[in-house]
Amino acid sequence: MTYHPAEERYSRLPYHACGRHGLKLPSIALGLWHNFGAGNDLDNCRAMLRRAFDLGITHFDLANNYGPPPGSAEETFGRLLREDLAPWRDELVIASKAGYVMWPGPYGDGGSRKYLFNSLHQSLRRLGVDYLDIFYHHRPDPATPLEESMQALADMVRQGKVLYVGLSNYPAPLLQQAARLLDELGAPCLINQVKYSMLERTVEAATLPACAANGIGCIAFSPLAGGQLSDRYLHGIPADSRAASASPFLSASVLTPERLRLLQALHDIAQARGQKLSQLALQWVLRTPAMTTALIGASRVSQIEDAVAAVQAPALDAATLAQIDALLAAR
């Protein structure tokens, strides 16, 4: 069936300027990390992308190594872009990254000019697009001079293969150095992607202030802490859950009795607001002006709908924020 996006799609979400830049991003972005690989149901992937766009999610986040296997998430998105979303390409912000291992040998990982350009070209082919809206260096590479990596990113912009560049997993001092280099090269850093949630607040001390000081937008990945900040683990560890499957992204050992009590207390706050815990967690991440958007993962349409509904809920008031802070400080 031919897809036609909802006419009211831009009435659902707020769009925020990304740092000092003119590009506006929706407060919720959809990541295609582990649910758009070769083994995932294509019809479900199609339904999620369609519903996301219908709800005003224009920003889709990928990386060269997303799948599994690596590269397959870009291939899935590329196919669905061709079949469904191609007429609306100018309304989409498509992002990808490079920085983790992708192929054997000395040129398949890191931050060298060769690796970054080869990765970009491969991503463009898999996605079937002429350019990316955002291209990130996925992580710092201590074996490559920072100047080389930033020059490669700037040259991608100069060549028209990338509109904006971003950084991911860069600590504050390195982020500031990279931002200065990119400014000097005429390709200022648009956005920094950081791990941030109620349970992971390390970036608050220096990284978020560095983004604000340098006019860089910020996008939070893992805002639900690998699924902890959902209703999934309120009564223990389900047999079919990520924590029960020896996932490297959420260990069952993290879900101690103390952690489960904290999750239950946060859930109670959410319930008092008429929300799910996941919705409270997303609102909390977006409470600070330094955060441009929250990056969600989804395995079904209802999770995307829940995320958009979270943004539409009344803002967290001072009393609720104080209650949450007290719980987090006591853990």
In a domain, 6, yes or no: no
Question: How distant, in Å, are the alpha carbons of 36, 48, 98 from that of 39?
Answer: 8, 16, 22
Measured CA angle at 53 (ends 48, 55), to 5 deg:
95
Domain annotation covers residue 270? no
For the record, the structure tokens of 17 come out as 């300027």
Phi, psi (rounded to 5 degrees) for 137: -85, 120
Residue 27 lies in a domain: yes
Alpha-carbon distance of 183 to 244, in angstroms, equals: 45
Mean pLDDT of 79-95: 98
Amino acid at 251: S
CA distances from 221 to 15, 243, 295 (A): 18, 18, 5
211-264 residue pLDDT tens: 999 999 999 999 999 999 998 888 777 666 665 555 666 667 788 999 999 999
Count CB-CB contacts under 10 A for residue 298. Answer: 21
- Burial zone of 2 (CB within 10 Å; 0-12 exposed, 13-18 middle, 19+ buried): exposed
- 319 burial via Cβ count (<10 Å: 0-12, 13-18, 19+): exposed
Q: Can you say whether the dihedral through the CA atoms of 128, 132, 133, 134 is positive or negative?
A: positive
**Close Cβ partners of 35 (under 8 Å, ≥ 6 residues apart):** 45, 48, 297, 298, 299
Q: Among 56, 48, 40, which residue's Cα sits nearest to residue 6? A: 56
Please give the share of the chain, as a percent, with pLDDT higher than 70. Answer: 95
Quote the pLDDT of residue 243: 59
Amino acid letter, residue 276: K
Specify the CATH number for the domain of residue 311: 3.20.20.100
User: 220 lies in a domain?
Assistant: yes
pLDDT greater than 60 at residue 133: yes
Are 292 and 25 a contacting pair, CB within 8 Å? yes
Provide the 10 A C-beta neighbour count for residue 210. 22
Average pLDDT over residues 6-17: 98
Residue 198 pLDDT exceeds 80: yes
* Model confidence at 117: pLDDT above 90: yes
pTM for this prediction: 0.95
CB atoms within 10 A of CB 148: 14
Number of domains in the chain: 1
Per residue in 63-74, pLDDT tens?
A: 999 999 999 999
**Does residue 269 have a pLDDT over 90?**
yes
What secondary structure does DSSP assign to 265-306, as a single string?
Answer: HHHHHHHHTT--HHHHHHHHHTTSTT--EEEE--SSHHHHHH
Give residue 251's pLDDT: 65
Decide if 100 is inside a domain.
yes
Q: Are 276 and 246 in contact (CB under 8 A)?
A: no
Residue 22, domain member (yes or no):
yes
Residue 293 lies in a domain: yes
In a domain, 237, yes or no: no
Range of the structural domain that residue 197 is part of: 14-226+277-315
CB proximity list for 48: less than 8 A, separation 6 or greater: 30, 35, 298, 300, 301, 304
